[in-house]
Structure formats: structure tokens, C-alpha cells
Structure 1
Amino acid sequence: MFEPRNHQAPAARLWSLLSPLGAYAPIGLLFLVGLPMLSLSRIALMLWQWDRVAATGIWPDMLLHGVRVDIIQLSLLGLPLLLLAPVLAMHRTWRFWRVLSRYWVVLSVALLALLEIASPAFINEYDSRPNRLFVEYLKYPAEVFPMLWNGFRLHLVGGTLATTFVVWAMVRLTRPWLTVAPSWSRLKLWLTWPLLALLALVAIRSSFDHRPANPALFALTNDAMVNTLILNSTWSVAHAIYGMKHEARSSEIYGSMKENDILQQVLATRQLLQDARPLVGDREIPTLTDQKASIRRERPLNLVIILEESLGATFVESLGGVPVTPEIEKLKEEGWWFEQLYATGTRSVRGIEAVVTGFPPTPAQSVVKLSLAQNNFSTLAQILGKQGYESEFIYGGESHFDNMRGFFMANGFSRVTDQNDYESPVFKGSWGVSDEDLLNKTHERLLAKHAEGKRSFTLVFTSSNHTPFEFPDGRIELYEQPKGTDNNAVKYTDYALGQFVKKARSSDYWKDTVFVVVADHDIRVRGDSLVPIERFHIPGLIFGADIPQRKVKTVASQIDLAPTLLSLMGVDAKHPMIGRDLTREPDSLPGRAMMQYEQNYAWMEGQKVVILRPGKEASHADYDPARKHLTTAAQPPENGKAMEERALAHVQLGAWLYRSQLYRLP
């Protein structure tokens, strides 16, 4: 194609090797650079996580399948050039083709490099290669960039420099391409194009089965993080984006079930849990439940839910964690204390979904962010609004984050208080004002509501326990050094909670109010099992007013809180929530919980667990809460098939109710 020039000898010799590919040489360069780069990145990540990789015993398969995934991704990146070549790689448009193909390859390699460079920090935080969270966070630069700068400065600067170097190197490497003259005739270009296009499509599909390759195909182990190492980060993110477009039917990855069968399984589960509340739904609201409060009151109580950011059981000593929540440990002696409460997911909006709406989890995004839930979607605020309550959301940051403000205001809340409503806060960090400011504002608002004689529901969402863990000095004795750690941030949040409770206890509103402290999820949910159930374990506490002391030993889910609270408050309601009213349950029931972890769904009854996986048989296991250990069963238990049906019905239920807009009030 061209004669190498001395001052460009190394790069020019490379292009000489690619010259037999003619106009398709840039695509060849993309593979020549991309395959080694992605493989080296995978090897480096595997060595970094070697303990978990070695435990699976499949590292050779990981490398082999990894190359397969890389070929898929590189073929996807090369496909646009391949499709345009017969039109643009002609003599008349050759100059434009050279420039276009050059910069397409440069940007493609830069994208691959950027996401691989970002992978270690993402894995360290989320125990997974970059996925949908990577995309979702890009929507909120005002919150995310300060967080990155304050908490991941070294990663951010190093990643930017490394990506810049890759771009510089690729620009130099591709410079000789700009001097290449066309060497193929139009006939040769068109004759080879169908063969190359077919080859690319086969490479992208990477399977002769009726379905193309997807991440589930490469889930070779029980360790979800190790499975993501088989992928490359660009393909992982691309599949996340693709999956976000098809979320209305996301639960069908586990199988299908008819709507009547779903309802039959829901009824069977209610009977299993000795739930006698009448189901009065119809086609319009299939799960409508007529719940009469088990505690009768002349005047129903007010409700305050304090949703704690990332406060997993790992931070509560009496639940097997580190001793950084002394205030919660004191409070648990004064009310209902949940010993086996489990989060439904790993994101804040999933926790909001469960606690505020009682909606069951699905593989899709939380309904807080989904379009069909932005109006007339049942929430505690709507349910209580029918009883004359006013509802407020109080947050220390920007309430539009994760669409919280939009969802709340469209579904029953009458007021939102966020960082713009704090005058002279004592501390402000990347995620807004401190939890101290947040709870001072909550106390102020509760006093005002009590003075006005209004019945109220207040949702408070903390944020100090979020990377980069910023909080004011001089409030606590640090648990460890340096200051900016999760343990120290949790201890500060616990301190702020204790200060708030002292003020509340001496206030007139105390005797009329039920308080709930519950986590949205644990921090950095990860593990070497299909679903790390021990990292879904969270504290839950209900206290205030005349709430008696009780240790709730049954396995419970976040979705059980709302129905239970209605009874404790003395509120009768018709609602679509499928959660249990724990005021009616005997202590001896094993209980049940449900957990969505990436694309795996766990359904737990007592210590028996069934895990649904896309494209694979359900897995059965036993969970030991004392040892916090999940043991895969050699074979399904006697009632294994029935458990699988109940699990499938409940994960399908959420998708059906959302898709058909049936989760609403009469």
C-alpha cells in the first residue's frame, strides 16, 4: 500500500503488515491493539483478585472466554466502519475515509482503555466491572464529580493521564495511515465486503444457538464478581445500556408465568405466612388488600422514617458488625428490633422503593426512576394522604438526584426539603449538608407540624455515610485512622441520630409519633456466592410513642415495614402492598425475604434459599445467619419446586404490576 518512511519506521512497518487488508486496515489495527490490551487488563484484574479467582478453579476458561468476549466487542466497534467502507473507501472519497477511519479507531481504543482503567476503582466500590451504575451516575455530574474528586482523586487523575497517553499513542500510531493511497479496486472492495460483514456478524453473535451471546452465557462461577472479570468493561456497560431499554419485561429473564398463576402463588405465599388479611383486588388492582389496623387508636400516630445511607449489619455490633453504632444499640432496647431484616437490593432507590412503596424488587431499575411509575403509583404518602396526612421528604443533598423529587412529588408527597433549604449549615460536603444539619432540620419541621396540629409522614434520607465519607470535626472519637472511612462516617451518623432522639424525646411530638430507623442497603455489597445474603442484612428499629419492646426474630424484608407501620400507627387502609403486617404474625414463623443482586434473584424462606438466574436452572442453598454463610445444596429440597414457583411469581409480579400500571390505590 505504501513505502515506510524512516522517521515513522515502527508505525509504518505495522501498517505494512496490515496492507493486505486494503481499506479495512484500520479495523485490523483495532483488533491488533484491542485484543492484547483487553487481555492484559483482564489478566491484571485476575491477579489482583487472585484469591477469589483461584477459588473458582477456572482461570484458563476465564482467559479463553475473555478473548471471545473481546472479539465480540471489537467486532461491534469495527462494524460501523465495515458497513461504510463500500461507500466511502472509493478513490473520490479516500481522503475522507482515511480521516474518519483513523479517528474512529483512536476513539474506540480510547473508550476501551478508559473503561478498563476505571474498572479497579469500580470493582473496589461495587464488586463488579462497570455496569448500569456507571451509566446512571453520569446523569448527575454535580454530585458525582465532587465525590470523585474528594474520594477518588488519585484514580481520577491517574485515569485521565493514562487515557490521555493512550489517545496520544494511538494518534502517533495511526499517523502513517493518512499517507496511504487506495490499493483496491471498487470490484474487489464490493466482492470482499459480504464475506467480511458475515464474519463480523458471526463474531458479534458468537453463538449458533437461537440466542446470541450475552453476559449470562459467561456466568461460569457462583462468584458474580469473578464472572464480570470474564467480560470487558465496554461490553459490560453496553449490555447495561441495552438492558435499560427493555426493563418493562426484565423479569422474563428467569422464565414466564401466566398472570393468574402469579396471583395463585401470591395467595399461596400469604397462606404459608398465615396472612389472613382479605385480598379484595380485581383486574384493576390485583393485589389490593383490605388491612384493618391491629392496634386501634382514637387518633392515628405520625410517622418518621429515617432511611440510613449504606448502614448495613456490618456496622452494628449486635448483628455481627463493628461497634460503631452505640446509639442504635441503646435504642434497640426501647422498641421493635429486627434481628433478620434484609434489604431488597444494593441501591438507595431500591431501598426507597421497598420502604416507601412496598414494591417488590425486579431486575429492572427501581420504580423511583421508571417512567410508568411517575404518576398514580402507590406510596405510603398516598395511602396516608387519604387519611389526612401531609407528607414531606427531607434530604441533605440535591433532591433531584436519582429522580427522587420527581417521584415523590408525583406520588403523594406535598413538600421536599433539600440542600437549598438549609441556612448556615454546620458542614457541607460532596453529597450536601451533614446528617447533623439534616436531623436538626427534621426536628425543626416536626415541631412546626405539631404546632399546626397536622398529622404527618416524614421521610428523612441521610447521606454522610457515602463516599468520600465527609463529616464535621470534633463530633466523635474516631474509630480508626484516617478520618474519611466508612466506619468513622457511620459512627458520626449514629452520633447525629442520638442527638436528634434526645431532642425528640423531650418534645411534644414524641408521644404522637412512630420513628423508624432502617438502612437503604449495606455498603459495598459483594461476595463469592450467587447472592451474598450476609451483605443484604440490615438493621431495622421501630420506636417512639407507646411502641413496646420486641425482638423480631422472623426473616423479614424491607417491603414488610410499610404494612406493619400502618397497623402500629392505627391506620386502616386498602393498599396494593404484598408485604406482611408483622403485628399479626406469631414469632415462630420462619418468614421470607427477597433480594435482587445484579441479575440474580434470591427468595429466602427461613434458612432455605432459592436463587433464580437468567438462562440457568434455579440454585438451592441453605443460609446460616449465625455464621453468615450460604451453602449451596447438592440437590433441591423436597419443596424446592414449590419454592421456585413462589420466587418466580414474586419477581414476575413486580414487572407485571409496573408494566400494566396496576400498583395504585382505588
Structure 2
Amino acid sequence: MASASLLANETLKKGSKFNFRAYPLALGILLIAVSNLTRIALTLKSAGTAEYNLNSILGIFTIGLFYDLINALYFVLPLMLMGWLTPCRLTIKPGYKLLANGLLFILIFLLLLDAVSEWIFWDEFESRFNFIAVDYLVYTNEVLGNIRQSYPVEIIITFLLILTILLTWMMTTVLSNHTIYPFSFWKRSVITGIYSAVIIAAYFFVDNKVRQFSNNNYVNELAGNGMYELFAAYRNNELDYNQFYATLSNQKAFVDIHALIKTRESHFVDQNPFSIRRDIVNLGPELRKNVVLISVESLSADFLGSFGNTQHITPFLDSLAGVSLLFTNLYATGTRTVRGLEALSIGTPPTPGQSIVRRPHNEELFTMGTVFKRKGYQTKFIYGGYGYFDNMGYFFEHNDYRVVDRNALSKKEIDYENIWGVADENLFELAMREIDNGTQAGKPVFTHIMTTSNHRPYTYPDGRIDIPSHTSREGAVKYTDYAIGQFIKNASQKPWFKNTLFLIVADHCASSAGKTDLPIDRYKIPLLAYAPGFVKQGTMPRLMSQIDLGPTILGLLHFSYRSQFFGYDIFKLEAGRERAFISTYQSLGYIKHDSLVILKPQRISGTFVPNFDDGSRRAVTSDNRLINEAIAWYQSASFQFKNGLLKK
């Protein structure tokens, strides 16, 4: 019997090609090597902005190694489970060898693909994978299409496959030349149990806050691990305000918000202490003008010559600014299109996690569409892509807008399209048709148009502008400027033009990355109000939030209405009460006067003096009054949505 057992063990030693310990260990070492090579590459890429010194370099690579090790624990899980559950006698079978090596091949390919994807994501967003990457995983058609149109995907995949084959062959060859001692199921269970305990502890006690060791956001991002950051972002895609942030009692928050939100033209009408319903009374006859709101993809203020740009990439908008009211101190609430659409439609401060546009239970909310519809308007949201993307179609369709998207155009009406949507000129042709139809029916129209062309891969029809398609964001900006110009010029020939208020605003800036996690200069956006004979040319320099645009439009039209907006009519607001909100999916910023309050998870809060030109900031002694104001705004907005109080 003993000799038979020894013979069996010898057979396993010579025949088995899957080593319970060595395969996961080898893959983990490869992951750490690839992660460090990626970190080195991104560190070199960011040399001009990350402000390296000895401490930052040590932090990047030591903390980075810690996250690499944690990520390796998760990544080798399939191999660990395979080795634990497979009886030793099966590991010498040729089929099992093929299965084990096939799994190793897949994991190595995913590891290499992740490294390339991190480079591409950093090139676009100057950060590791984050909440945006989680969102993009939901919309694989648009995202993969965008990548294919922007990069030589076939060449990259072919190269990665060849490299994966080479690495798999090298690893399996090296591992097969070592003596393999079989483990009994009991021993494998003990090892797997210890491994499981470590990975469970990592899940509950390690988060991505360890890397926040520097005042330079680029340095903190480099200290992370992209694959781990993707996992962390997925875990935190919705954040309960009361659980993670500094709070007041709900009663105190709403007492404060009632005082902050009250204006001279309004009075509260609801006995519910958590309600902000109030009647807005504007004097003078209501002006039933058509309203065309154009939200432009990624139109940072500093793209416009009106804000100091010297590249001449917005010639039409700069000329339009000379005959419009130009708002020069407006800030976007967030970094995504859906966050901008949220601010422009429901007028609420950004709640942590996903935009309300993307959340469940976002139907029947009080929106700009609600107000205009109650006034007898036709209300439409017009988009050049497919409405299902980012849940935009569902959100607007269920909140008093009629959605008109790419499906409304025939093939012959499309001069050019990419994965995000049709060319902006075709979008505006569609919008013109919809406005014509609406006004001919005898009703005024409120039309919200969302552009798409200023988005990677930055492609557009040839021959429109002097920058070739697919070369740069500057080209995409100039093409969108051209398309808006054609739209306004064509609209000026329409009978409804003289009775129309045009508003052109950005959804967010082109980039929100900076040396700090909320670089204030990366949230500044333009707003032009154009209506010859109605809106006087000039500038509006007062600090203003994107959520103020709705109430300001309604004030311009002298509309009286019952409001649930958090925003102000900037023309009626007393001086000194201006404020703005900026955010990522976790960090919540509150700008007032020359101060910036930042609220973060783990109930962290701080007061800073920001540099409005370069986005840097200086920490100062906490201003508790200002912090409590910020808490009141954000806590009450989160409470209202969670408890259905944003519904009409």
C-alpha cells in the first residue's frame, strides 16, 4: 500500500502541470510587474503636472505596491478556487492542463488589456479608473465604438494576443520544469482558508483612501492601482449622504435651507418642514417666448476668445457674445453630461454618487419641462445620439419632455455620424424641423438640445472648418461652433425667431482633472443669452451655479409659478448671496465669496481659499458657518430625492 502511494505521488510530481501554489503566485508577480510598468509610464506621462519630489515618488511606488498586492489577491482568485476544488488525480489529465493554461491565458490577456486601457483612460481623464469607467461599462456599444474610432484597436489587440501567448508559454514552461508536490484536499483547504481570510479582511478594511497622501491629485492617482480603483468605484457608485458625509440634524438642515433659499419674490406654501415648495411671483405680463436651450458637450469657458483663448476656435460664439448677455462667472455642478442635464432640468445641487438622471425612482420630478408644460408649451429634449445612453431618454420622457433622438433622422438626412451620434449640423437640422412643427401648431416651444460632436474621437464632416477631422479636441470645438452658427443663422430667417430666447451653455468642462480633486478652474463654463430686442448685450459677472439657469430663464420671462428648484434667479438675488456647487461623484464643493468648502466621505470637511485661475487652493482655518451652509444645501437635496420630495 505504501509503495503504491509513493508511486502515485511520483506520478503526480512528474505528470501534473498545474501547481496549486505556483500558478497563482506567478500570476500575482506578473500583475505586480505590469502594474509597476504602467505606473512608471503614467508617472513619466504626468511629469509636467505631478510636482514630483522624493516623498511623492516614494509614496507613489510604496503605496502603489500595497494596492498592487491587494489587487493581486483578488485577481488570482479563479486560479486559487480551481486548485482548491480539483482532486490531485485530475491534474495530470491532458484536458485539465489545457483548461488550466487556458484560464491563465485569459487572465494574462485581461491584465495586459487593463494596462493599455488605463493608458487610454488616463489620456482622456488624467486619472485612474473611476466612477466614469463604471458608467462606461454599462454602455459597451458606445464606448467600444468610441475606442475603435479613436485608436487602432485591431493592431493593439493583435499585439496583446501575441504578447499573451508568449508570456503564457514562458510561465507554463518554467512552472512545468519544477517538481510539483501534491497537496491533499485538507492542506489545500487550510491554505485557501487563510487566503480567504486575508481577502475578506482586505475587502472590509482596505479602501482607496490610503493613496490620498499628497496635496497633488495626480500623485494620489498614480499611487493607486487602476483595476482596484475600478472595483472601488463600483462599490461606491451610490453614496448615502447621511452615512458618509458630515451632517446636521434633518430639522436643522431644513431650517437652514429655508433661510438660504428664500428670496424676495417667493414665499413657502407647504406645512411639511422638509418641503421647499414656494410660490414665485414675478411682476409684469408673462412673455410667452420660445426658449431654445443648447447644452454643448464639454465646452470649457477657456475655449472661448471671450474668456481669453487665442486659438480662434469659437469664432461664431465670440461674435455672438458681442450681441448677447454673456455670463462670465458660471460653474458646472459636475464632470459628466448627465450631471449637467440634472442641473439644467431639475435645478438641484449634485448629490453624491450617480446623477439623478441615472438613478432609479427618478420619474415625475419637478423640472423645467414641468413649468413650461403647465404654461402651455410644447417641451422637447433633442439629442443627436440614442436616448438610451446614460438613461437620458427615459429620464426626460418621464419628466415632462418629449424625447427626439437619432432615430428621428433617416439615413439620407445624416451627413456624418460616429458612435456618439450624428454630426451637430444634422442635430440642429432636426431641431429646426421640430421647432418649425411646434410653432406652426400654435404653441410656444421649450426645446433643450444636447450636442455630441465635442467628444473623442473628435470626428465631423470634411470641408466645414480649417482643422481636419479626427485630429484634436480643438477641431471638434470649432466644428460645434460652426454648427451652432449655421443653426442661429438659419433660425434668423424663420418667422418664430423674433419671439425666441436662445441660451447656449456647457454641460461640463472638457477636463476636470487637476492638481487638486476639485480644481475650481476646471468647472467654469460659458453661458450666452441671445434674443435681439429682448435681452440687452452685456456681461453678467456675478457668481452663478448651473442650477440657477432654470429660475433665471423663468424670471426673464416674468413667469409666476410654484417652484421646487434649489436655484436662484440671479437677476433678483440680493448681492452677497451668490454661491456655486462643484463636485465629483464623491467630493462635494461649495463656493461662496472667495472660499471653497469641500465635503468628503468619512465625514471630512475643510475650508480653502481657491485660486480661480489655476485651480490650486490653500487650506485655512475651518469656517464652521460656511461648512454648515454647504452641509445644509447638500444634505437637504439628498434627503429630498431619497424621500420623494423632488417629485412634482
Q: TM-score normalised to the size of structure 1?
A: 0.87
Question: Hey, what's the Cα distance between the residues in 2 that align with 1:482 and 1:507?
Answer: 31
Contact 2:208 2:224 in 1 (8 A): yes
Whichever residue aligns with residue 376 of structure 2, its letter is G
* 1:492-641 paired onto structure 2 within 5 Å: 492-544=479-531, 546-586=534-574, 588-589=575-576, 591-615=578-602, 617-625=604-612, 627-636=613-622, 640-641=623-624
Of 618, 629, 641, the match for 1:658: 641
- Equivalent residues of 2:280, 2:562 under 8 A apart: yes
Q: Does 1:376 align with 2:367?
A: no
8 Å CA contact retained: 1:442, 1:460 = yes
Query: Distance in 2 between the 1:185 and 1:4 partners?
Result: 12
Which structure 2 residues correspond to residues 60-99 of structure 1 after superposition, within 5 A? 60-79=58-77, 81-82=79-80, 85-91=83-89
Q: Mapping of 1:405-420 within 5 angstroms?
A: 405-420=393-408
Deviation at 1:530, TM superposition (A): 2.6
The answer for unaligned runs of 5 or more in structure 1 is: 206-210
Q: Distance in 1 between matches of 2:229 and 2:10?
A: 38
Do the aligned residues in 2 keep the contact of 1:27 with 1:78 (CA within 8 Å)?
Answer: yes
| Paired residues, number | 633
CA distance in 2 between counterparts of 1:421 and 1:633 reads 52
Query: For 1:311 and 1:560, how far apart are their aligned partners in 2?
Result: 18
Equivalent residue number for residue 241 of structure 1: 234
Q: Would you say the 8 A contact 2:518–2:584 is kept in 1?
A: yes
Shift of 1:164: 1.5
Fraction of identical pairs, as percent = 26
Cα distance change of structure 1 residues 645 and 108 upon mapping to structure 2, 3 Å threshold: farther
The answer to whether the 8 Å contact 1:127/1:526 transfers is yes
Deviation at 1:538, TM superposition (A): 0.5
Matched position secondary structure for 2:571: coil
Counterpart of 1:452? 441
CA spacing shift, 1:32–1:477, aligned 2, 3 Å: closer
Q: Are the aligned partners of 2:63 and 2:210 in contact in 1 as well (CA < 8 Å)?
A: no
Provide the residue aligned with 1:437 in structure 2: 426
Whole-angstrom CA distance in 2 between matches of 1:289 and 1:166? 64
Alignment of 1:11-410 (within 5 A): 23-55=20-52, 57-79=55-77, 81-82=79-80, 85-91=83-89, 102-153=101-152, 156-173=153-170, 175=172, 183-202=182-201, 204-205=202-203, 212-244=205-237, 247=238, 249=240, 252-270=243-261, 277-283=266-272, 286-294=275-283, 296-322=284-310, 323-373=312-362, 375-410=363-398
Q: Does the CA contact (< 8 Å) of 2:373 and 2:379 recur in 1?
A: yes
In structure 2, relative to structure 1, the CA distance for the partners of 1:270 and 1:188 (3 Å cut) is closer
The structure-2 alpha-carbon separation of the partners of 1:31 and 1:489, relative to structure 1 and needing over 3 Å to count, comes to: closer
1:489 paired residue among 470, 473, 476 = 476
What do the CA deviations read for 1:31-87 (whole angstroms, capped 9, x no partner)? Answer: 222222212221222122123334464110111111111111111223455456554
From the superposition, tell whether residues 292 and 408 of structure 1 become closer, same or farther in structure 2 (CA, over 3 Å).
same
Q: Name the aligned partner's letter for residue 25 of structure 2.
A: G
Q: Distance in 1 between matches of 2:442 and 2:620?
A: 60
Letter in structure 2 aligned against 1:462? T
Deviation string for 1:562-610 (max 9, x for gaps)? 1111111232221211001112124x43621111124222110022111
In angstroms, what is the RMSD of aligned CA positions? 3.0
Residues 194 and 392 (structure 1), Cα distance of their counterparts in 2 relative to 1, 3 Å cut: closer
1:465 is the counterpart of 2:463: no
- Unaligned stretches of 5+ in structure 2? 1-8
CA deviations on 1:468-515 (whole Å, 9 max, x unpaired) are 12222332344xx77632222212221222222223233221232221
The residue identity in structure 2 corresponding to 1:243 is: N
Q: Counterpart of 2:646 in 1: which secondary structure? A: coil
Report the counterpart of residue 208 of structure 1 in structure 2: none
Deviation at 1:285, TM superposition (A): 6.6
1:560/1:182 CA distance change after superposition, 3 Å: same
Q: Matches of 1:634 and 1:484 in 2, distance apart?
A: 43
Contact 1:279 1:290 in 2 (8 A): yes
Does residue 647 of the first structure (1) align with residue 630 of the second (2)?
yes
- Mapped to 1, the partners of 2:638 and 2:368 lie a distance apart of 20
Once residues 103 and 661 of structure 1 are traced to their aligned partners in structure 2, the CA distance between those partners, rounded to angstroms, is: 50
| 1:185 partner letter | S
Preserved contact between residue 310 and residue 466 of structure 1 (Cα < 8 Å): yes
Aligned partners of 1:225 and 1:139: how far apart in 2?
27
Instruction: Write the letter of the residue equivalent to 2:260.
Output: T
User: Residue 246 of structure 2 contacts residue 604 of structure 2 at CA under 8 Å; is this kept in 1?
Assistant: no
Cα distance between partner residues in 2 of 1:607 and 1:556 = 13
Distance 2:100 2:154 in 1: 29
Alpha-carbon distance in structure 1 between the residues aligned to 2:469 and 2:288: 46
Classify 1:656/1:85 alpha carbon distance in 2 versus 1 (closer, same or farther; 3 Å).
farther
The answer to whether the 8 Å contact 2:246/2:605 transfers is: no
Looking at structure 1, the residues matched to 272 and 39 of structure 2 have their Cα atoms a distance apart, in angstroms, of 51
**Does the CA contact (< 8 Å) of 2:453 and 2:480 recur in 1?**
yes
- The Cα of 1:259 is off from its aligned counterpart by 1.9
Q: Deviation string for 1:88-130 (max 9, x for gaps)? A: 3454677587666544444333323211111122111111112
The residue matched to 2:356 in structure 1 has which SS? coil
- Secondary structure in 1 matching 2:512: coil
Tell me, in whole angstroms, the C-alpha distance in 2 between the residues paired with 1:3 and 1:88.
Answer: 17
Q: TM-score, normalised by structure 2?
A: 0.89
In 1, the alpha carbon distance for the partners of 2:270 and 2:102 equals: 59
Cα contact 1:281–1:288 (8 A) shared by 2: yes
The 3-state SS of whatever aligns with 1:526 is: coil
Q: What is the distance in 2 between the residues matched to 1:476 and 1:97?
A: 60
Shift of residue 363, structure 1, vs aligned partner: 2.6
CA contact (8 A) 1:307 1:461 kept: yes
